[in-house]
Amino acid sequence: MLAALGLAATGCASNEFTRLGVPEPITEQGQRVLALWQGSWVAAFAVGLLVWGLIVWSIIFHRKRSEQLPPQVRYNMPIEALYTVLPIVVIAVLFYFTARDQTYLLETDEKADANIEVVAFQWSWEFNYLDQSKAEAAEAAGGDEDADPEILFSEVGTPDQMPTLVLREGDVVHFDLHSPDVIHSFWIPAFAFKLDVVPGHDNEFQVKVNEGTAGTYMGRCAELCGADHTRMLFQVEVMEPDEYDAWYAEQQEAAEAEQAEQAAAEAGAEGGEQQGDAEASTEGEGGQAEGAGTEGADEEAQGQDASDGGEQDAAARDEESEEEEAGR
Ligand SMILES: [Cu+2]
């Protein structure tokens, strides 16, 4: 058994049994977590075997033989010292490896290939793809902590429509975690790692996504954050480099087109044109299309609906969070 666990700890065989309940990690950091987990189990089993062995040995070979009291070992200094020193040694070893790995897991020095701001809110996620990390932006601005990096494009989810976080195989990905309301926890089980998302204190971490991990994984909120906490789900899609690059270019183009549309709409409105024309120009086709008056009107109506809905949602959200606070 010990030999089997020893083998598991060295990572020679990685299957569901030897991982002891941990999902297969898809990051370099996750593998470190798995090794710590397995190593801790090896240590626990070693201590367990020793204790179980001593119990069984006493039961079998030291049964009551006579009415005479066996030799008493109270206040036996060597044994008392052993009782104290051994647990301290065990804890010190576990502490050393835990502290070592924690330091490694929270390292953010390596230059990242992708920088993503994760905004956790009641009750979904927003993923903002940034041109640089927050720390880098602050450094570039001469240490100004409020300097924000540029958002290239975003993915925003709702409790009904979970968002997808897209990553590329082999990338070093930097995450900046931000919460506008309550404490959430950003958890991707396949990372074997989670980190709290705390209002007023932005956390950060980074991972190196392993090669050959393309696929779809789940993400969750791991901190009870309110009524719809269980619906704070998201998907993680790890893409092969070519696929990711195509997707990335597409997202950037779409974001740029949207910006151009907005600029055109603003310019149109400023130009004193009819509202309908200005809205029509947000179609991004003709821009000045005079004949698109009705289409523009339709879109205006839709836009109105959408913004009304948004306001209602926000109002409902506020009410709910107030109720919750009252309930606490
Ligand atoms: Cu949450």
Report how far ligand 1's centroid is from the alpha carbon of 314 (Å).
Answer: 17
Report how far ligand 1's centroid is from the alpha carbon of 286 (Å).
Answer: 43
Q: Which two tokens stand for residue 117?
A: 């701001």
Average pLDDT over residues 4-18: 60
The string over 293-311, giving b where at least 16 C-beta atoms fall within 10 Å of a residue's C-beta and e elsewhere, is eeebeebbeeeeeeeeeee
pLDDT on residue 10: 52
Report how far ligand 1's centroid is from the alpha carbon of 130 (Å).
Answer: 22
Report how far ligand 1's centroid is from the alpha carbon of 124 (Å).
Answer: 7
How many angstroms separate the CA atoms of 105 and 29, rounded? 6
Q: Which amino acid is at 273?
A: E
Report how far ligand 1's centroid is from the alpha carbon of 324 (Å).
Answer: 14
Report how far ligand 1's centroid is from the alpha carbon of 312 (Å).
Answer: 21
Report how far ligand 1's centroid is from the alpha carbon of 128 (Å).
Answer: 17
pLDDT on residue 14: 66
Chain-centroid distance, C-alpha 322: 27
Report how far ligand 1's centroid is from the alpha carbon of 101 (Å).
Answer: 26
Name the CATH topology of 114-239.
Immunoglobulin-like (2.60.40)
245-297: pLDDT as tens digits: 999 999 999 988 988 898 888 887 766 555 544 444 444 444 344 444 444 44
Report how far ligand 1's centroid is from the alpha carbon of 223 (Å).
Answer: 6
State the chain's mean pLDDT as an integer: 82
The string over 127-149, giving b where at least 16 C-beta atoms fall within 10 Å of a residue's C-beta and e elsewhere, is bbbbebbbbbbbeeeeeeeeeeb
Report how far ligand 1's centroid is from the alpha carbon of 169 (Å).
Answer: 27
Report how far ligand 1's centroid is from the alpha carbon of 109 (Å).
Answer: 28
For ligand 1, a single-atom ion, the residues with CB < 5 A are: 184, 221, 225, 232
User: Per residue, what are the HEC states of 33-79?
Assistant: HHHHHHHHHHHHHHHHHHHHHHHHHHHHHCCCCCCCCCCCCCCCHHH
> What three-state secondary structure class fits 315?
helix
Report how far ligand 1's centroid is from the alpha carbon of 126 (Å).
Answer: 12
Tell me the domain boundaries of the chain.
Answer: 2-64+72-105, 114-239
Q: Could you tell me the pLDDT band of residue 13, with boundaries at 50, 70 and 90?
A: low
62-111: pLDDT as tens digits: 888 889 888 887 888 998 999 899 999 999 999 999 999 999 999 999 99
**Residue 302 predicted with pLDDT over 80:** no
Report how far ligand 1's centroid is from the alpha carbon of 199 (Å).
Answer: 12
Question: For the chain, what is the radius of gyration of the CA atoms?
Answer: 29
How many angstroms separate the CA atoms of 154 and 178, rounded? 14
Report how far ligand 1's centroid is from the alpha carbon of 311 (Å).
Answer: 21
pLDDT on residue 272: 54
Report how far ligand 1's centroid is from the alpha carbon of 156 (Å).
Answer: 15
How many angstroms separate the CA atoms of 279 and 262, rounded? 10
**Residue 310 predicted with pLDDT over 90:** no
